[in-house]
Structure 1
């Protein structure tokens, strides 16, 4: 059996790339050094219960047994994944306290310990920092298995991070220019565009027309697109609020439920996503007494009111607003909109105040994850976020999506573009 195991590992080692080979060597060291390392790290327990035979035939009393948690080790490109069985007084807390010692012994940049299944722990050790390794994402063009799951990238332990968008009314994305906001949104668009159960509207405050800017390739997959003109944006937001109201009035008779997420999005009732990039363009206060400034001020105030309506009332009818800006202060994203968006991400920020408005006051208690520490160029594409289902904050390396891939996906899925208002009218007529 041992020889078969050795052959399998040898074959895997020969076929692996350089990074995985280093991890395989590391996994072997972890596995065969465990029985010696565990007691030194305080990860063993002495069983003092007398055995069945209290006195051996030679008259000696057997020594108490030292129990060591059993482990299984698996390598990947970034390090090792260890599953350990818990013992009395050797459980989650003890492993977490020993994590720095394990990191030193295993030659890892960092080690994390999380619960796995009952009685088992998941220990992740990475040899190199996944946050500083650029990653690329090539969209397959196949419809996603879960339309409401947003795959973001890898965390600091090279584990995949995703966000559930089901029953989520809004998402905010903040960060300095050039640090990855648009690439993050591009991946979301490219991964979900092959599904006819989602439709997009885009308001890009950096451009004047859909032929310009970062979304030029994907504009053909959007049923509506506006640039930095406040009047055009106002017309789009008004159009979507009217859709929201029509959906609210029809949802029970058409879908038979009060919340679209009870049945999920479909081609006839798609998840409608409004992406607002450079949001301050549409919401910024304009001060002045001349007629033109007064008009812009009125449009900005109306835009904020309309988007507030979508965020606060659109969730149950399948409408989602994703708002991106450089600094998520109240002048860029009004607080009555920002504070009701449950999902927030922030790329690099220059000040602690900018980090707080993007992620909340609690980010002060997690200095390692604070986006002010992400200003180094090696962290372009790295965002901080509050991970759903985990305490505190985590950092995520988001991958880069090439423009050629975005163009390929948009061209292949353009035929799926539909106006949700027209789809609703067809449903109501059929009902």
Structure 2
């Protein structure tokens, strides 16, 4: 006769194995966690401990900040279990919270509840910052029904960073990666369909380094060609772009006449492209299909732009000549900014103080993207970023004069209201020189490329009738 207890004995005989497996999994997880913690740097370890505190304290903290909902409707199971007829106690619902860490703090995603949404989380933001021991907290909509809470324990703007270019072509040709914002989130700006960018700021606060990042990231693409007018130097080997000249199809120093020739050459390119864009590309705007090796995005960098546009005062012949050249330079660059967007020309102008005497307002005011490093006066901040910067005192570049903020810029970002402060990284000179040397063979004059595409038909392009 079969023992009725045999099945139970069979089941219980597997218990030690199950327990052993569970313990093995727990030990493996614990070892993995300890290894990650030990291998992390000191800043990340603090963030790991901070994330643990956030998780463990959330169920208690949420109701205190009114980030919970009360459900008075009993569940079906609770109704069936209620045999004594007493009222069923309402349930307190706590938003589910998933927490990750990085070197600067924590990133939490919370599920919304009825009556507990983005607005309620944003209202509780300052209290979350205090409870989580954060310098600041930002709360945004992550997806429908979910909010993203970014808390930074350390101010990312105060920590200098470095960028090490890979030498690989960028995934998106016209996307400019700028650095990290005040919440340590990566910031980039899309320069598709953008005709001009202005960059202002005191000397030595990061303007050239910002441009260096763009050159390092974009140079490996044959679909981008560069030209530069550097008003700080007289010869290419003297300046910040000495290593980059080999990756530029044209470079001029502070000679106004040479700059005038470069600007005139680019205007001729703009007019030739405007005349032939439909024939060559089959579209009205180059951006409908994007830049290519035969029709590249042309980036003109005008560093210390005031050198080329300054109004020269005087009655002697030489001063009159300089004044005429400056006026002509302004007219030519205005043509590039106002008419070059659809055919793939981008002008980046840098200066210390982007007031109307440095960059004429008819050029500056049609550049949709503007950045400013430290400024000394409110007038200079308004000239660089517009009058709205007065309403955002925390982001005003006059607050960036401390040496701690070298490399930090303010900008009006495309994807969010107001102004954002950004920590731009430093690119080591040796790495920039390496990228320039490795990509030098990609350099080509865009006008010559257009001539190669059109062939004999280039002579049929009547530039006198083109005014796109």
Say yes or no: TM over 0.5: yes
Aligned counterpart for 2:45 among listed residues 12, 21, 27: 21
Aligned equivalent of 1:42: 66
SS of match in other structure, 2:238 = coil
Of the three residues 173, 196, 210, the one matched with 2:236 is 210
- C-alpha distance in 1 between matches for 2:176 and 2:456: 33
SS of equivalent to 1:224: strand
Task: Measure, in 1, the Cα distance between the counterparts of 2:280 and 2:150.
Answer: 48
Structure 1 contact 78–158 (Cα < 8 Å) conserved: yes
Aligned position for 2:140: 114
Residue in 2 that maps onto 1:428 = 454
Match of 1:173, SS state, is: strand
| Residue 228 (structure 1) aligned to one of 249, 254, 258 | 254
Instruction: Please list, as runs of the form range in 1=range in 2, the aligned pairs for 1:168-317 lying within 5 A after superposition.
Output: 168-317=194-343
Residues 327-384 of structure 1: CA distance to partner in whole angstroms, max 9, x if unpaired?
0100000000000000000000111111111011111111111111111100000000
- 1:135 match: 161
Between the two proteins, the alignment pairs up a number of residues equal to 431
Q: Secondary structure at the match of 2:176?
A: strand
Residue in structure 2 matched with residue 351 of structure 1 by the alignment: 377
> Any gaps of 5 or more consecutive residues in structure 1?
none
Which secondary structure does the structure 2 equivalent of 1:378 belong to? helix
Quote the residue 1:415 is aligned against. 441
2:121 aligns with 95
Measure the CA separation in 1 of the matches of 2:323 and 2:135. Answer: 51
Q: Is the 1:54–1:62 contact (alpha carbons within 8 Å) kept by the matching residues of 2? A: no
Q: Which residue of 342, 345, 349 corresponds with 1:319?
A: 345
* Structure 1 residue aligned with 2:18: none
Q: Partner of 1:269: helix, strand, or coil?
A: coil
Report deviation, 1:60.
Answer: 2.3
CA–CA distance in 2 between the matches of 1:341 and 1:172? 7
Offset of residue 89 of structure 1: 1.4
Q: C-alpha deviations, 1:136-184, integer Å up to 9, x for none?
A: 1111111111110000000000000000010000000000110000000
SS of equivalent residue, structure 1 residue 153 = strand
Asked if residue 146 in structure 1 is aligned to residue 172 in structure 2, the reply is: yes
Moved more, 49-58 or 275-284: 49-58
Whole-angstrom distance in 2 between the partners of 1:196 and 1:430: 24
Task: State the 1:430 CA deviation.
Answer: 8.3
Contact 1:55 1:61 in 2 (8 A): no
Shift, 1:56, TM fit: 2.0
C-alpha distance in structure 2 between counterparts of 1:240 and 1:6, whole Å: 63
Deviations 1:282-337 (A, max 9, x none): 00101111111110100000000000000000000000000000001000000000
1:55 positional shift? 8.6
Distance 1:89 1:386 in 2: 32
Which ranges in structure 2 are unaligned for 5 or more consecutive residues? 1-21, 458-468
CA contact (8 A) 1:54 1:61 kept: no
Q: How far did 1:5 drift?
A: 5.0
Deviations 1:244-271 (A, max 9, x none): 0000001000000010011101110000
The one of 130, 133, 151 equivalent to 1:104 is 130
The one of 361, 384, 388 equivalent to 2:414 is: 388
Q: Which has the larger radius of gyration?
A: 2
SS in 2 for 1:163: strand
Aligned partners of 1:142 and 1:194 also within 8 Å: yes
Say whether the 8 Å CA contact 1:217–1:407 is kept in structure 2. yes
Q: 2:41, 2:116 → 1: CA distance?
A: 36
Distance 1:423 1:54 in 2: 80
